[in-house]
Homo-oligomer: A and B are copies of this chain.
Amino acid sequence: MKAFPHRHLLGIEPLEASDIQTILDTADGLKEVLDRPIKKVPALRGKTVVNLFYEASTRTRSSFEIAQKVLSADSLSIATATSSVTKGETLLDTAKNLEAMNPDMIVIRHQASGAPHFLARHCRSAIVNAGDGAHEHPTQALLDALTLRQKKGRLKGLRVAIVGDLLHSRVARSNLWLLAKMGAQVVLCAPPTLVPAGIEALAPVTYSIDEAVEGADAIMMLRIQLERMGGGFFPSLREYHKRFGLTLERVRRAKKDVVILHPGPMNRGVEIASEVADGPDSEILDQVTNGVAVRMAVLYLLLGGGRE
């Protein structure tokens, strides 16, 4: 395996297609460890990872923690609810202090776009972006890509519809970069109030989900982040479902073997109908398993597990 040429994983944007390929290949290779009766390899024994979460997240944090345990790394998780952040310390001071405890990696989720890049400029530890504001969520895009590639055998040339709240979604942004780099063809779909300005420069945008999913190889549904929806971006959840929800009827417009993805947690009956979420085309739970595999790959590549 060739060495990975990056010290950090800050986003998909700075990666080459070959880097993405390396991560996905490594994830494919490591995934079988998760099926063993003894799910543990000593690859990262004695390495320390700090998971620094400024936003609550069961699934991303759990996925990273499990990846760390499977690879035998030591990990320390800090959630802001119980941290000195409440004592008014700056992000940089918190990071510098953590770093002074000599961790090999800091995995950070932060509400501000660019927070991981800021740490990468000022810290010696490897930095992994676990979601920064509305900017990027690279491991999510990587696990989506891994799932797609496993089902379709390739990413190049696939027609992928990304549907939902494009405005607040770091998942959409990372997936857009990744799919473009890997040669897939993306169509975006959202209500006009949830389309960020200028995004049509990156991929075509439609306000019709029927149009977006027409002939699609894959449909990536985005979560309606109810907790950020104070602003009246659409009239009601029922209305949203009617206009933009993924129903069985709409799935039928896509290719026959369409792959349906959702980053979770799902709002059933809002952005996705339960029949679709639990249906035969849904790979939503495979995404979760692949999430652990992709995070194992990122840990392994950045912490030099391959060099020993």
Q: A: which residues have CB within 8 A of B?
A: 34-40, 45-48, 50, 56-59, 62-63, 65-66, 69-70, 74, 76, 78-79, 81-90, 93-94, 96-103, 226-227, 264-268, 285-289, 291-292
Contacts and interface: CB of A to CB of B under 8 A. Distances in A.
Given A39-B46, A46-B37, A89-B266, A288 B74 contact: no
Nearest to A290: B100
A56 B89 CA distance: 14
Contacts of A70: 48, 74
A66 B78 CA distance: 12
Contacts of A62: 50, 76, 78, 98, 101
B265 A84 contact: yes
A265 B39 CA distance: 36
A83 B96 contact: no
Q: In this complex, which of A48, A265, A268, A292 has the most chain B Cβ atoms within 10 angstroms of its Cβ?
A: A265
A93 to B, nearest CB: 6
7 contacts: A39-B48, A62-B98, A69-B76, A70-B74, A87-B226, A87-B227, A101-B292
Given A83-B58, A84-B56, A265-B87, A97 B288 contact: yes
Contacts of A288: 97, 100-101
B81 A82 contact: yes
Given A45-B40, A88-B265, A289 B76 contact: no
Contacts of A287: 100
A267 B102 contact: no
B264 A93 contact: yes
Given A66-B103, A79-B82, A97-B264, 15 more contacts: A35-B102, A39-B74, A48-B70, A50-B62, A56-B83, A56-B86, A58-B85, A59-B97, A63-B101, A66-B74, A66-B76, A87-B227, A88-B226, A93-B268, A101-B288
Contacts of A265: 84, 87-89, 93-94, 97
Given A40-B46, A102-B35, A266-B89, A84 B58 contact: yes
A44 to B, nearest CB: 9
